[in-house]
Amino acid sequence: MDAKTPSTQDERLAHISRGTLEHYDERAEDFWAGTRDHDVRQNIDALLSRIEGAPPCSILDFGCGPGRDLRTLTALGHIAVGLEGAARFVAMAREYTGCEVWQQDFLNLDLPAERFDGVFANASLFHVPCEALPRVLRELHATLKPRGVLFASNPRGNDEEGWNRGRYGAWHTPQTWSAYVTAAGFTLLDEYFRPPGLPRAQQPWLATVWRKS
Chain centre distance of CA 39: 16
Residue 21, Cβ neighbours under 10 Å: how many?
20
Domains of the chain, by residue range, sit at 9-212
pTM of the model: 0.94
> Residue 136's closest CA among 51, 62, 211?
62
**How much is the mean pLDDT over the chain?**
95
pLDDT at 5: 59
pLDDT at 2: 44
- With beta carbons less than 8 A apart as the criterion, state whether 193 and 46 touch: no
Fold observed for domain 9-212: Rossmann fold (3.40.50)
- With beta carbons less than 8 A apart as the criterion, state whether 125 and 74 touch: no
pLDDT lower than 70: segments of the chain = 1-7
